[in-house]
Structure 1
Amino acid sequence: MIYSEVKVSGIEDVEKRLGNMKKEAPAVVSRAINRAIQNVKKNMGKETSSRYFITSGEVKKTVNVTKATKSRLKAAAISQGGGIALSKFKVNPGTPVRYRGKSRSPKVYKAGVKKSGGAKPLDGDPKSFVAVMKSGHKGVFTRISGDGLPIKQNYGPSVPQMVKNEDIMKIINKDANETLKKRIDAEVSNILRKG
């Protein structure tokens, strides 16, 4: 699990800026926090998919957001989940192994999780292979024992493991703080303009 929180501990500065409309401060701050936490979720997807062979949508599916309210000035984005099937990352070739017919199966499959590392051969013994199960699920599998049927699916890291990358979290937190500040400024200006 990876947990990212946006909160404001004191709203005195916002109250001061609002003057005689200071009762609006909790609403101003909660709206700003909620905008910032939505950016956290978006950036978790964007930054993770820019470094790993996974889609932004796959990342965002694992993120639950708890919004701020006027009485609770904090919000959280929590990513939870287990290892992801290796087939969701980059697998080359993506064609399933064939046992009959004219087309030949590849000598070795390659898989890549991190974009900076590229795809690496899955050349262990026994070798891994791509197959489509009766359910329609396409995965990367390895036989548990040389011949015979028992197979296990290969997995890559979980989304929380990828998101907790120091570079990703640094960008997410920096953007959340900037968004929070900008949104508070915009909300205060908006209320003062309406008078």
Structure 2
Amino acid sequence: MITISFDQKRIERAKTMLALAPKEADRAAAAAINRTLTHVPKEMAKTVREKYIVRAGSVKKSLRKNRASAGKLAGEIISTGKTMPLTSFKIGGGRRGPMRVKVLRRGSPKPVKGLFARPFPKGYVGPMKRVGGARYPLKTPAGPSIPQMVGNEEIFSKWGDEAEEFLNKRFTHEIDFRFSKLFG
């Protein structure tokens, strides 16, 4: 979990500017938090896609937002989801030797022992793996989940710093907007 907070200098500036209307500072903070909550998923998807081969829509779809209000000045973004099937990533090979799967953008596809693909009677065409030594049962292998990708320390730190900077800029903008609206 990452905690993003307001810059103390900006809070002091807001208090002095809105001493006549203290509730406006809370409303400005809530508006800044909510605007940050709509901005961050785009940044999350962008940083996840820098490292993993995954669609931005899949990342954004896995995110749930809890918005802030003037009474509750906290917001959160929660990523939920199951592991993604290997068909979501880049798959190749299989003619000679094991099939190869590429999950990360860097590097080469890695061989997966026992992975094969052929058309099945029910219409599924994709990678499968035997569970035991017998022909059946088969299972569809999976890669990492989107919460695992988003929670990667490398990715987490990149968009976290950017989100805090965006929140502080937005808070200043909201304070200026409310000040000019109240006092012309």
- What's the TM-score once normalised by structure 2's chain length? 0.84
Q: Distance in 2 between matches of 1:138 and 1:73?
A: 49
- 1 or 2, which has the higher helix percentage? 2
Are 1:128 and 2:118 an aligned pair?
no
CA contact (8 A) 1:33 1:180 kept: yes
CA contact (8 A) 1:5 1:77 kept: no
Instruction: Name the residue aligned to 1:102.
Output: none
The range that moved more, 51-60 or 145-154, is 145-154
Instruction: Name the residue aligned to 2:57.
Output: 57
Instruction: Name the residue aligned to 1:38.
Output: 38
CA contact (8 A) 1:91 1:110 kept: yes
Unaligned runs of 5+ in 2: none
Letter matched to residue 142 of structure 2 = Y
Are 1:192 and 2:182 an aligned pair?
no
Q: Distance in 1 between matches of 2:120 and 2:35?
A: 42
Instruction: Name the residue aligned to 1:98.
Output: none
Q: Distance in 2 between matches of 1:59 and 1:133?
A: 30
CA contact (8 A) 1:4 1:76 kept: no
CA contact (8 A) 1:6 1:33 kept: no
Q: CA deviation at 1:121?
A: 1.9
RMSD (Å), alpha carbons: 2.4
Instruction: Name the residue aligned to 2:74.
Output: 74
Identical residues among aligned pairs (%): 31
Q: CA deviation at 1:151?
A: 0.6
Deviations 1:159-193 (A, max 9, x none): 11111111211112111111111111111111222
Instruction: Name the residue aligned to 2:20.
Output: 20
Q: CA deviation at 1:23?
A: 2.5
Unaligned runs of 5+ in 1: 94-104
Instruction: Name the residue aligned to 2:140.
Output: 153
- What's the TM-score once normalised by structure 1's chain length? 0.80
Secondary structure of the residue aligned to 1:118 is coil
Instruction: Name the residue aligned to 1:111.
Output: 101
Secondary structure of the residue aligned to 1:53 is coil
Letter matched to residue 163 of structure 1 = V
Q: CA deviation at 1:131?
A: 4.4
Q: Distance in 1 between matches of 2:130 and 2:178?
A: 65
